[in-house]
Amino acid sequence: MQVVARTRSDGVLYRRADPDAYGGRGRRPVFGAPFRCADPSTRAAPAELITFEDERHGRVELQLWRDLGWRHKGQFVVVDLIRSRIHLEREKPPAAHGYAAYNGKPAQTLTARDWYETILHRWPIEPANRFRKERLYAELPKVQQATSSDHWLMGLQLLEWELCLARPEVRQKRLPGQKPQEQAQLTPNRVIQSLAEHLSEVGTPVSPVRPRGKAPGWPKGKPRRVPKKYKLTPKRRKKAVAMSKSE
């Protein structure tokens, strides 16, 4: 399993402690010298430095430092740090970004270019997760069983596929600040936004509105069911604490 997460521009990581620096008293140190992303003086020479041309990001430069670690409950979590710079061909390129990369298979060594490809896969995944949470309410049900959660997520995936299949049929509705999109490239969020104009064609599953005025009453011939009653059990009250005269 490979995990890549963007770090803060002023994030701090740590190197491993030098075992030869142990003086023989107290607990052996776990963390060594800090690696501050905002302070170039704390960085050593990168383990790997490559530069290449990319169709989307222009000239790219990648710096990779290995065997760094996070502080997590006193443990040393080994990660690799990647510092990427894009569009170096411009007069004023964008600021550099740092990414912490965790490799779940230590026996498999990944190069800086491999981690770069993993970073590029974050962009279609993260907006999709955000869309599922905000518009499809992926976290709304508070279920206790894992199977129920799997069924809910499976239903969300089917709903998302239906939104993608409905793109050729919807009439695009844009807000004043939104740019038009090609009909075959409509996002699921734009499809939901455009469904309001199709409600008259599809109809609504809502029951008809009840008439105003006096209620019609209980239907004749319909039996009444007495709800089940539960006996209330009062809680035991704590004994009152006698207060002293001074209080």
Helix (H, G, I), strand (E, B) or coil at 71: strand
Per residue in 151-182, pLDDT (tens digit) is 998 999 899 999 999 898 888 888 888 888 88
Q: What angle do CA 234, 240, 245 make, to 5 degrees?
A: 165
**Backbone phi and psi for residue 155, each to the nearest 5 degrees, phi listed first:** -65, -35
Residue 244's alpha-carbon distances to 141, 238, 239, 241, 247, in angstroms, are: 52, 18, 15, 9, 5
pLDDT of the residue at 240: 53
Per residue in 93-118, pLDDT (tens digit) is 998 888 888 877 777 788 888 888 88
CB atoms within 10 A of CB 226: 5
Mean pLDDT of the chain: 84
**Backbone phi and psi for residue 69, each to the nearest 5 degrees, phi listed first:** -150, 155
Alpha carbons 92 and 30: distance in angstroms, whole number: 41
Per residue in 184-206, pLDDT (tens digit) is 888 888 999 888 887 777 777 77
Alpha carbons 189 and 136: distance in angstroms, whole number: 10
Cβ 76 vs Cβ 69: under 8 Å: yes
**Backbone phi and psi for residue 79, each to the nearest 5 degrees, phi listed first:** -140, 165
Alpha carbons 111 and 129: distance in angstroms, whole number: 27
- Please compute the mean of the pLDDT values over residues 127-146 and round it to a whole number: 87
- Please compute the mean of the pLDDT values over residues 130-154 and round it to a whole number: 88
Query: Which has more confidence, 238 or 144?
Result: 144
Cβ 74 vs Cβ 107: under 8 Å: no
